[in-house]
């Protein structure tokens, strides 16, 4: 047995249970069919908590970014600028860049919201949330982040951040969602991705030229807010 304390704290999550293949002979009333009720209750709870939010901006980014990191400070300034513009800040509610954006909003007197997710390892909510909602299922959480946001700001991050970025782009590209600003914050971090999309994906006609226009890129929180104000 592993002695790694982090691994010892890991536990089965609702997403893991949902995504497991069915066991032979398992009674359906004890598995997926009844799990729908919990999913339904999570959706209802999310709608109840966020029904009054019409001016939200979702900020995504790494949970691993320490307070002294330049990206943390950039997210902090971004949260402040959003609050000054009368926009609510919505994040995944965790540490790192999410905390920075929530902190900036809270310190500027804006509304700070966290949509927290159950993970196999412990990740506590950051202390700068006015509204905190807990989710077991990633797809329910994604629904809330998209439904109650007027724009996405994508700060530097990992797989989860990339997932949210391409979720928004796919929904917009396929006309499943009305176009809204998707802003990449941190040019030096994201430039390589943009180059790859242009030089490989577009070059091989996997996307259209206008698909690259679905994203904005900037290093300026003020510019990001101006983009949002012009397009919402």
The phi, psi pair for 161, rounded to 5°, reads -65, -45
CA 161, 167, 168: angle at the middle one, nearest 5? 95
Q: What is the mean pLDDT of the chain?
A: 90
Predicted confidence (pLDDT) per residue in 137-188, tens digit: 999 999 999 999 999 999 999 999 999 999 999 999 999 998 889 999 999 9
Predicted confidence (pLDDT) per residue in 64-89, tens digit: 999 999 999 999 999 999 999 999 99
- pLDDT of 86: 97
Residue 175: give the domain boundaries: 41-231
Q: Which helix (H) or strand (E) holds 75?
A: helix 70-84
pTM for the predicted model, two decimal places: 0.86
Q: Which two tokens stand for residue 24?
A: 């032979």
Predicted confidence (pLDDT) per residue in 6-65, tens digit: 544 556 777 677 667 666 655 555 567 778 888 999 999 999 999 999 999 999 999 999
- pLDDT of 7: 45
Q: Is residue 65 part of a domain?
A: yes
- The CA distance from 212 to 220, in Å, is 20
The phi, psi pair for 81, rounded to 5°, reads -65, -40
- pLDDT of 231: 83
- pLDDT of 10: 55
Q: Is residue 17 part of a domain?
A: no
- pLDDT of 99: 98
Say how many C-beta atoms besides its own lie within 10 A of residue 203's C-beta. 10
Q: Is residue 15 part of a domain?
A: no
Q: Is residue 10 part of a domain?
A: no
SS (H, E, C) 123-136: CCCCCCCCEEEEEC
Q: Is residue 120 part of a domain?
A: yes
Confidence at 4, pLDDT banded by 50, 70, 90: low
- The CA distance from 161 to 1, in Å, is 32
Give the number of residues written for the chain: 232
Predicted confidence (pLDDT) per residue in 200-213, tens digit: 999 999 999 999 99
- pLDDT of 131: 97
- pLDDT of 18: 67
Place of tokens 């209750």: 41
Closest-CA residue to 136 (of 45, 57, 49, 52):
45
Q: Is residue 18 part of a domain?
A: no
- pLDDT of 124: 86
> Given 3-state DSSP classes, what are the helix, strand and coil percentages for the chain, each rounded to the nearest 5?
50, 15, 35
- Please give the tally of structural domains in the chain: 1
Q: What is the CATH number of the domain that holds 165?
A: 3.40.50.450
Q: Is residue 192 part of a domain?
A: yes
């Amino acid at each position: 047995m592993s002695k790694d304390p982090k691994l010892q704290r890991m536990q089965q999550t609702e997403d893991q249970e949902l995504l497991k293949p069915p066991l032979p002979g398992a009674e359906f009333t004890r598995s997926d069919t009844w799990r729908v009720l919990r999913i339904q209750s999570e959706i209802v709870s999310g709608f109840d908590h966020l029904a009054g939010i019409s001016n939200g901006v979702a900020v995504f980014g790494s949970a691993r970014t320490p307070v002294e990191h330049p990206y943390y400070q950039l997210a902090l300034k971004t949260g402040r600028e959003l609050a000054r513009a009368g926009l609510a800040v919505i994040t995944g509610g965790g540490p790192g860049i999410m905390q920075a954006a929530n902190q900036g909003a809270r310190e500027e007197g804006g509304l700070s919201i966290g949509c927290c997710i159950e993970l196999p390892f412990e990740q506590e909510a950051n202390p700068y949330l006015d509204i905190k909602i807990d989710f077991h299922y990633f797809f329910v959480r994604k629904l809330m982040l998209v439904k109650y946001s007027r724009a996405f700001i994508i700060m530097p991050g990992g797989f989860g951040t990339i997932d949210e970025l391409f979720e928004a782009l796919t929904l917009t590209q396929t006309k499943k969602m009305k176009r809204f600003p998707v802003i990449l914050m941190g040019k030096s971090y994201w430039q390589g991705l943009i180059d790859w999309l242009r030089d490989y994906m577009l070059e091989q006609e996997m996307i259209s030229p206008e698909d690259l226009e679905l994203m904005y890129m900037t290093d300026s929180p003020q510019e990001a807010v101006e983009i949002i104000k012009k397009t919402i």
